[in-house]
Structure 1
Amino acid sequence: MSKPSFVDSIVGWLREGYPQGVPPQDYVPLLALLRRRLTDDEVEAVVAMLVASGEVPVDSADIGTSITKITDALPSEDDIDRVREHLPAGL
């Protein structure tokens, strides 16, 4: 059986937590929680891409561009910081 998609995981989580449906006052807080975050594997893939390309050291724009290439989504500042923390020191 294949791994559920990101959207399938969210829908399952919502159905489990709100079996009677989401109350209107909870929509905004839920949307804030559901913002996409890079997985650990995606962080590693971005780091590997940057190191392999010889582009290190990099700035936030370089990291953001690499994240977008891998995820087809705009990166958050948190995701950029997570990638930066995993880049080899001194490169």
Structure 2
Amino acid sequence: MALPPFLSNIIGWLRAGYPEGVPESDYVPLLALLTRRLSDEEVDQITDALVDLGDLPVSKTDIAVMITKVTNEMPLEVDVDRVRSRLAAGGWLAIDPPP
């Protein structure tokens, strides 16, 4: 299934911010940032696409577990800031700015 253009754009920004793929240490803060702006279904579509593209070297089941973890445990602000900086460097300025 083709993604809507705005989700394809988000994947482009993520790939620009993480040209070598998303490191494991950024999975949870990245998902936390995505869930602030996107619906659960949209986050699922993006993570599925990133897994399929090889940018998230984990299974879709692992991603589902991580999403559950995000909803139950917020990441450290320092981790969110690190991910936000990487995404901003890739051109994604739509993430909530730091307080």
Alignment TM-score > 0.5, same fold: no
Q: TM-score when scaled to structure 1?
A: 0.39
Q: Which has the higher contact order (CA 8 A, sep 6+)?
A: 2
TM superposition score normalised by structure 2: 0.37
